[in-house]
Amino acid sequence: EVQLVESGGGSVQAGGSLRLSCTASGFTFERPYMGWYRQAPGNVCELVSAITSSGNSYYADSVKGRFTISRDNRENTIYLKMNSLKPEDTAVYFCAAESTPGLGARYADCLQPPNYWGQGTQVTVFS
């Protein structure tokens, strides 16, 4: 059974930093494409950042220059370092991994197939 376990959310003042972690287990294939989505109330689930097994990364325009994704393949863990946080970054952040090739740019709601999903972690940025 595939499991994605997240940690690292919380509350922070605008301009502050947080780091999210996600550890994967149970995959039948090695080193899937993995990433982070977020969903705020009333908004769609959007892909924030993603990383391949070789380290190639994707960032949404809204987080470029502020967020950094990284990956430790030995530990099957990905990280999202979030700097210069803004109130509009407030959302539930979900770790995801591909079950079919690729990760969609957005969904109506997170936790939908075909991706594998973590349980979500709340990030709140207050001004």
pLDDT digits (tens, 9 = 90+) for 97-119: 998 888 999 999 999 989 999 99
Question: Which pLDDT band holds residue 51 (cuts at 50, 70, 90)?
Answer: very high
- What are 71-76's contacts with CB under 8 Å, separation 24+? 71/34, 73/31, 75/23, 76/23, 76/24, 76/25, 76/27
Mean of the per-residue pLDDT values of the chain = 95
Q: Give percent above pLDDT 70 in the chain.
A: 98
Question: Which pLDDT band holds residue 29 (cuts at 50, 70, 90)?
Answer: low
